Chains A and B, each alone.
Chain A
Amino acid sequence: MSETLVEQAIPKARPAAAPFVACVLAWLVPGLGHVYLGRRDRGAVFFVVVLAMFVLGMGSGGAASLIEEKQPLTFLATFDNVAVGPIDLIGRYMTYGTIAYALPGSEGDPRRAQLLDRLRSRVRTVTYEYGNTFLLTAGLMNILLILDAFDIAKGRKD
Chain B
Amino acid sequence: MIRSHLLNMVVFSALVAVFFAFLTQTGTRDRLRVILILGGSMVVLSLVLAYVMYPFPLR
Contact = CB atoms under 8 A, between A and B. Distances in A.
Contacts of A28: none
Interface residues of B, number: 13
Contact of B15 (A49, A59, A60, A127): A49
A80 interface: no
Interface stretch (A15-23, A86-94, A129-137): A129-137
Given A127-B8, A130-B8, A133-B12, A56 B2 contact: yes
Given A56-B1, A126-B3, A127-B1, A134 B12 contact: yes
Given A56-B11, A134-B12, A158 B19 contact: no
A144 B23 CA distance: 9
Contacts, number: 41
Interface of B: 1-3, 8, 11-12, 15-16, 18-19, 22-23, 26
A60 B3 CA distance: 8
From DSSP, what is the main secondary structure of chain B's interface residues?
Answer: helix
B22 A46 contact: yes
Q: Which of B3, B18, B23, B26 has the most CB of A within 10 A?
A: B23
Interface residues of A, number: 22
